[in-house]
Structure 1
């Protein structure tokens, strides 16, 4: 099963527990995580269902290529890391 993991920064706002799921695309994996914790969706996706600009997703150590359609393919044992980009000045 694919494993979706979230950075600890998200835990300040919402339960961002890891999620194991059967998924063949990034969208399916994220949808499974959102089904378990619906409030998480608003922190990860914008109103059009695309990754927010301040969110980066890595699949098996490589950055996701389709932040809009979330169609990146997954293996059955893929590890997905969802990170919020940090900024400062």
Structure 2
């Protein structure tokens, strides 16, 4: 099963489960995580269902190609990392 993990920084604001899922796409995998904590959706996705500008997702070490549709495929052994982009100076 694909495993979805969220950055520890995000955990400061909302519970972030580690989710093992049989989902075939990133969108379905994230939806599986949101079942555990619906508030998490607002931290990861904007009001149109796209990744927020300050969120980046990697699947098996590669940045997602479709941050709007979230159609990137997940394999049975995929590892997904959801990170908040950091800024500052």
* TM-score band w.r.t. shorter chain: over 0.9
In 1, the alpha carbon distance for the partners of 2:35 and 2:22 equals 13
* Contiguous gaps of at least 5 residues in structure 1: none
CA RMSD for the aligned pairs? 0.5
Shift in Å, 1:54: 0.4
Q: Structure 1: which 4+ aligned runs deviate by more than 6 Å? A: none
* Contiguous gaps of at least 5 residues in structure 2: none
Which secondary structure state, in structure 1, belongs to the residue aligned with residue 29 of structure 2?
A: helix
Structure-1-length-normalised TM-score? 0.98
Shift in Å, 1:17: 1.9
Match of 2:58 in 1: 58
In 1, the alpha carbon distance for the partners of 2:68 and 2:11 equals 24
In 1, the alpha carbon distance for the partners of 2:37 and 2:17 equals 9
